[in-house]
């Protein structure tokens, strides 16, 4: 390991990451002239593509958080016409992808993490994937579009919030801290489609001011929390049902960048052979094509 990388990891271990994240969240929600300065600095520093945004003028975003969580204009990120395709749930870089073998997933070269640990020991969430399946891990950089969408039609059958650390999830950290995704704060959503299952896992990180989940309620509107879910680490997983949520529907978002892990069960299709580690993907890009139409 390079000296700089080692120093970076030591600093992360020592820093009060939750306090810094809380402070950053407060700063990002400032209004007035601080907001003006922050938004313009962020746009310049990260070369934000405002041409795709639903609102192209910075003044239309009340604060930096609003710019982080910006929606795109309707014509961008279309879903594939083929209904049998699993599509990318997020914009970002494919940090890793592959098969789930013996409940083990690849974090970085030579580093693995355990599916049961990722699910905080919740066997109901582990069960659909313990006999195999596929995983992909998408890293969202600060400049990326931060909203997460359904990769396939599905009904929510399980959900859990898991508290934890807030380490960075960039390349240096994933290559240097074992079980990183099992240590960080995360939200697990489990979906069912006939006999198939897939899971979206929102992984928090340092300076990520929050993870929001958006689900349709029984009345047909949306809520920014999961109905019936108690957001504490002590609570047992509470299974909640929704009506079917269609592929491409918005399911949540991050404040700042982070990571989304997509798991698919054994009877789901394998990832397309053209996909490779470090491939850049966007919402709606094909990840897999099912042999059975939905």
- Catalytic entry in 35, 149, 285, 290: 149
* Residue 75 covered by a domain: no
- Express each pLDDT in 247-290 by its tens digit: 999 998 888 878 999 999 999 999 999 999 999 999 999 999 87
Of 68, 97, 112, the residue at which a domain comes to its end is 68
CA distances from 278 to 93, 118, 154, 226, 263 (A): 5, 22, 27, 32, 18
Residues 165 and 58 in one domain: no
Q: Which domain holds residue 30?
A: 15-68
The total number of structural domains that make up the chain? 2
* Residue 229 covered by a domain: yes
pTM, rounded to two decimals: 0.89
- Catalytic entry in 258, 265, 285, 290: 258
* Residue 159 covered by a domain: yes
Is 88 known to be catalytic? no
Residues 56 and 196 in one domain: no
* Residue 210 covered by a domain: yes
* Residue 141 covered by a domain: yes
Residues 227 and 110 in one domain: yes
Residues 93 and 54 in one domain: no
Is 149 known to be catalytic? yes
- Express each pLDDT in 73-124 by its tens digit: 999 999 999 999 999 999 999 999 999 999 999 998 889 999 999 999 999 9
Instruction: Output 20 or 233, whichever has higher pLDDT.
Output: 20
Is 265 known to be catalytic? no
- Catalytic entry in 87, 91, 136, 285: 91
pLDDT over threshold 50, residue 167: yes
* Residue 76 covered by a domain: no
Residues 37 and 99 in one domain: no
């Amino acid at each position: 390991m390079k000296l700089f990388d080692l120093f970076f990891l030591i600093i992360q271990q020592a820093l009060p990451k939750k306090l810094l994240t809380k402070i950053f969240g407060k700063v990002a929600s400032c209004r007035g002239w601080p907001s003006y300065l922050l938004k313009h600095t962020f746009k310049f520093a990260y070369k934000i593509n405002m041409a795709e945004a639903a609102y192209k003028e910075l003044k239309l975003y009340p604060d930096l958080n609003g710019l982080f969580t910006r929606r795109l204009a309707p014509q961008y990120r279309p879903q594939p016409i083929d209904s049998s395709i699993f599509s990318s749930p997020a914009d970002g870089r494919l940090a890793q992808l592959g098969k789930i073998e013996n409940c083990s997933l690849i974090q970085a070269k030579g580093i693995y993490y355990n599916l049961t640990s990722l699910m905080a020991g919740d066997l109901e969430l582990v069960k659909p994937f313990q006999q195999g399946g596929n995983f992909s891990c998408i890293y969202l950089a600060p400049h990326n579009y931060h909203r997460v969408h359904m990769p396939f039609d599905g009904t929510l059958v399980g959900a859990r919030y898991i508290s934890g650390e807030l380490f960075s999830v960039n390349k240096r950290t994933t290559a240097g801290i074992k079980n990183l995704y099992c240590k960080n704060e995360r939200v697990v959503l489990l979906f069912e489609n006939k006999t198939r299952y897939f899971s979206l896992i929102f992984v928090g990180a340092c300076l990520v001011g929050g993870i929001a989940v958006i689900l349709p309620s029984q009345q047909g509107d949306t809520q920014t929390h999961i109905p019936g879910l108690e957001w504490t680490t002590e609570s047992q997983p509470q299974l909640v049902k929704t009506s079917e949520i269609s592929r491409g529907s918005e399911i949540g978002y991050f404040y700042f960048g982070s990571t989304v892990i997509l798991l698919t069960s054994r009877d789901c299709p394998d990832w397309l052979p053209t996909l490779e580690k470090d491939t850049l993907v966007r919402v709606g890009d094909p990840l897999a094509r099912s042999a059975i139409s939905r």
